[in-house]
Amino acid sequence: MASSSSSSDDPSGAVDYLQSTVGQLLTEAIAAVAKERPVDAVAFLSTWLRTHAKEHVKEPSRPPKPPAEEPSQPSQQLPAEDLTALAVGPVFPPTPWSPWPNPEVTALSEFLSTAQWVGEGAWEKAIECVEKTTNATGVYVGLFDTDSEGIDTAATEEEKAAPVVRYVHASASHKGLVGTCLPQGQGATWRVWEKVVAEEGQEEEEAPEGQASKSKGRPYPSVYVEDVLDATPPLQPIKFFDMTRLGSFIAVPIVYQSCISPAGIDIAVEHIKAVKERDAKLAELRAQRAEKEAEEAEKAAEKEAAGAGAGEEGGAEGGGEGEKEGGEAAMEPEEAVPEIPLPELPGVEVKYALCLDTLGQSRPLPSSVVGCIEEIADSVGEALRRTEEAAVWEAAKEREEGWVGAAQEAVTKGLEVVNEVIEEGEKEAMAKLEEAGVAVTDEAKKVASLKAHYQGMAQLLKHLQTHLLELATNKIPESFHVPIVSTALTVLGHPPSAMSVPGKTKPSWEPTRALWGEQPLADLIAYDPTGVKTYTHPTQRIAKIAAAVEAFPTIEDIDKTHPPLGALHRFLTALVKVRQADVAWRKTLTDSKKALLAEQTDLQAKIKAKEEDKKRKAAEKEAAKAAAAAAAEGGEGEKEGEGEGGEGGGAAEEEEGKEEGEEEGEMPELVDLKALESEIAEMEKDDDLQDI
C-alpha cells in the first residue's frame, strides 16, 4: 500500500526507486534473452533471474510458516485454446485433509454414493467440484492406457509399445487436451502410480514447506508442485504443453480393481445357482419336516381320542406318551443353513490420475488442497468399483433367470412371422419390376428376392425392438457387442470417431451405446440398401461393411448369450447381400448403357454424315439443273440430247430415291444422347461402384 501511495504522490520518485533497485537487473536479463533467443523466453527469463538471485543475493532467514490460506479466485484464466502444463516434480505421499466446511465435496460424495453408473456426467460433476473447490485454471483426468493408439506418429517404436497417459476427461478450458497422450517417463503424472513403500513402524511426518506429508492407508502417492517454474533441485525440469506460466500442479491417483469381464459374470452366475440350489434344498427339507410334524400331530390326536374311552390311568399313560413323542418332535434341531460366501470376482487394476493446475494465477495452491482432491478421488474410485461390481451381479442375475431363453423364444416367434413377410415381399417385388418395364433378368430377380429377405429381417428387428433398445443400458458387453452395434451405426453414417474415445479410431462400448437408441433403430429398420449411394464417410461403403460382417462370430455363437444381437447380425448379413447384388446389377446396367451410348454415338454420327452428303448431292443436282437451263437455248440436236439426258437423269433420281427408302426402312431407333449421358453420370455417382 505504501509503494502505491508514494508512486501516485511522486511519480518521479517511484521511477528513480525502480531504476535503482531492479532497473539494471532487468536490463541485463532482457539483454540475455535477446542474445540467446530461447524458444521459451518466459522460462529462460525466470531461470536467469533465479540464478542471479542465488549468486548475488543472500537468502534471508525464512519466517515461520503462516497457516494455509484458502485458494483465491484466479487473477487470470487461460483461454480455451491453451492447454496445460505437466510438471516433473517431487513425489510426496499424500496427507489426510483437514477440510474447511465444503458443501461442494459433501454433495459430490452423496451423489457418487448413490450413482448407478460412473459415466461422462459423473466425471463432469467431479471435475466441476474440483474447479469450484480449488479455483483451478484447469482440471483433467488421465488414464493409464496400455494401448498407445493415437500417440504422436513421430514417436519411436519403443515409445509406441509403451503405455501412455491418455487424457479422457477435462474441464471446459482444457477440452483440447482430451484424446492426447503423454508418453511414459514424461511429466509428473506417472509418479502417482508408484506404490508407497512404508517402513515398519513409520509414523506420519510433518511435511516440509510446500510439500504434502506422508499418510497412512493410501498405497499410492499424490504429486504436489507448488511452483511449476521452480526447476531447482529437488524439482526436475518442467514440461509445458503450451506457453510457460506461473502456477501450481497437483495430481492425485484413482486406482481400483475393475471386475467387469465375462469371467466375472460366469463366477457370479455360479454363485447365484449355488444359493438357489441351497435354498431349494432347505425348502424341501422344511416341507418334509412340516409334513412329519403334521403326521405326528395327527397320531397324537388319534391316541388322545382312543384314550378318552379308557380308564383314567390308561388315558394318563397314553397322554404321557403323546406328550413325550410331541416333545421329541419339537426338540428336533432345525437344519443349519450352510453359508455360501460371496466369491471374489477377478479384477483388473485400472489407474486414473485426477490432475489440476493454476497456471496464470497470482498465488500457488496450499499443500492442504491435496487432501481435498484425495477425498474427491476416493469418492470417484469407490463409485467406480461399486457400480461396476453391481453391474456384474445384475448381468449374472439376468442370465441366470433365463433372459437368454426368453429372448431366444422372441426371436423364434419373430422368424415365423418374417417367413410370411419374405414370401409376400418377393411377389410384390416381381410385380413392381414388371410394372416399371424393367427387364426381368436373373440379376433383377436375385435383387428382388434378396431385398424381400432383407425387409423380412427388418421386420424381425421391429419385433425385437424392446430387447434391442436394452443395449443402450447394457454396461457389460460381450466381445461381439461393439463390432455388431458399431457396424449398424456405421451404416447410418456415424463415423468411427463418434464411437471411439478421443484420440482413438477403434470403436469402444461406452460411446457406441451412447449413440444407440430409438431413433437409430428406427432409421435402421427403414434403411433402403438399394439404389445410388453417396456416403459421408468411406467406412460406409459396402466393401467395408461386408468385411466387418465377415469378421463377426457365427450367429449360433451369438444366440447362446444374446439372441437379439444375433437378429441384428442376420439383418446386417441380409443388408450386405442385397446391397452387393444391387450394385452388381446396376453395374451391369451401367455397362450396357455405356455400350448403348457408344453404339448410338457412332450411329448418329454416321446418320449425320449421310445427311450432310445428301445435302451436298442435292446442292450439286440443283447446280446441274441450273446449268442445263442456261444452255436450253441451244439447237434441236442439243434438245434431243437433252431429252435423252433428261430420261437418264430421271432414272438416276429414281435410283437415289429407292436407296433412300431402303436406308430409311433399316434405320434403328435413336435415343437422346444427352439424356443417356446424364443417366449414366447419375448411376456412376454411386460410391460402391468404385470397389467393383
20 has a pLDDT exceeding 90: no
Domain boundaries along the sequence of the chain = 2-56, 85-260+348-384, 403-589
What is the structure's pLDDT at 605?
A: 87
What is the structure's pLDDT at 38?
A: 76
- CA dist 646 and 639 (Å) reads 10
306-322 core/surface letters (b: 16 or more CB in 10 A; e: else): ebeeeeeeebeebeeeb
| Comparison of pLDDT for 486 and 363, the residue scoring more | 486
What is the percentage of the chain residues whose pLDDT exceeds 90?
23
Q: Within a 10 A sphere around the Cβ of 683, how many other Cβ atoms? A: 17
Side chain identity at 393, as an amino acid letter?
Answer: W
Q: Which of 434, 43, 468 is nearest to 230 (CA)?
A: 43
209 has a pLDDT exceeding 70: no
What is the structure's pLDDT at 332?
A: 54
State yes or no: cis peptide before 234, omega within 30 of 0: yes
Q: Are 458 and 525 in contact (CB under 8 A)?
A: yes
Report, as an integer, the average pLDDT of 653-680: 70
Instruction: Point out which residues pair with 257 in neighbouring strands.
Output: 349
Q: Which of 438, 426, 453 is nearest to 586 (CA)?
A: 438
- CA dist 417 and 302 (Å) reads 63
28 has a pLDDT exceeding 70: yes
Q: What are the grid coordinates assigned to 286, written together?
A: 422344511
The predicted-structure confidence for 402-427, as pLDDT tens digits, reads as follows 777 888 888 888 888 888 778 777 77
Side chain identity at 451, as an amino acid letter?
Answer: K
| Comparison of pLDDT for 204 and 389, the residue scoring more | 389
DSSP state of 20: I
- CA dist 453 and 182 (Å) reads 50
| Alpha helix segments (H runs only) across 436-541 | 442-463, 465-469, 481-491, 509-515, 518-525
- CA dist 52 and 413 (Å) reads 85
Which of 170-179, 251-260, 416-425, 581-590 is least confident?
Answer: 416-425
Q: Please tell me the CATH code under which domain 403-589 is placed.
A: 1.20.920
Report, as an integer, the average pLDDT of 312-333: 49
What is the structure's pLDDT at 7?
A: 40
What is the structure's pLDDT at 351?
A: 95
- CA dist 418 and 414 (Å) reads 6
Is residue 584 exposed (0-12), middle (13-18) or buried (19+ Cβ within 10 Å)?
middle
What is the structure's pLDDT at 568?
A: 96
What is the structure's pLDDT at 71?
A: 37
The predicted-structure confidence for 62-93, as pLDDT tens digits, reads as follows 444 444 433 333 333 333 333 344 433 444 44
Cα radius of gyration (the chain): 44
Q: In the CATH hierarchy, which fold is given to the domain comprising 85-260+348-384?
A: Beta-Lactamase (3.30.450)
Report, as an integer, the average pLDDT of 554-579: 93
What is the structure's pLDDT at 522?
A: 96
> pLDDT-derived band of residue 566, with 50, 70 and 90 as boundaries?
very high
Residues 6 or more apart whose CB falls under 8 angstroms from that of 420 comprise none
Instruction: Point out which residues pair with 345 in neighbouring strands.
Output: none
Sheet holding 138-145, edge to edge: 91-92, 222-225, 249-258, 348-357, 138-145, 164-170, 181-183
654 has a pLDDT exceeding 80: no
Q: Which of 364, 371, 374 is nearest to 69 (CA)?
A: 364
Residues 6 or more apart whose CB falls under 8 angstroms from that of 645 comprise 628
The predicted-structure confidence for 581-620, as pLDDT tens digits, reads as follows 999 998 988 988 888 888 888 888 888 888 888 898 888 8
What is the structure's pLDDT at 635?
A: 54
Q: Which of 384, 90, 72, 376 is nearest to 232 (CA)?
A: 90
State yes or no: cis peptide before 63, omega within 30 of 0: no
- CA dist 653 and 660 (Å) reads 11
DSSP state of 354: E
Which of 25-29, 301-305, 432-436, 595-599 is least confident?
Answer: 432-436
Q: What are the grid coordinates assigned to 579, written together?
A: 446391397
Q: What distance lies between CA 214 and its chain's CA centroid?
A: 39
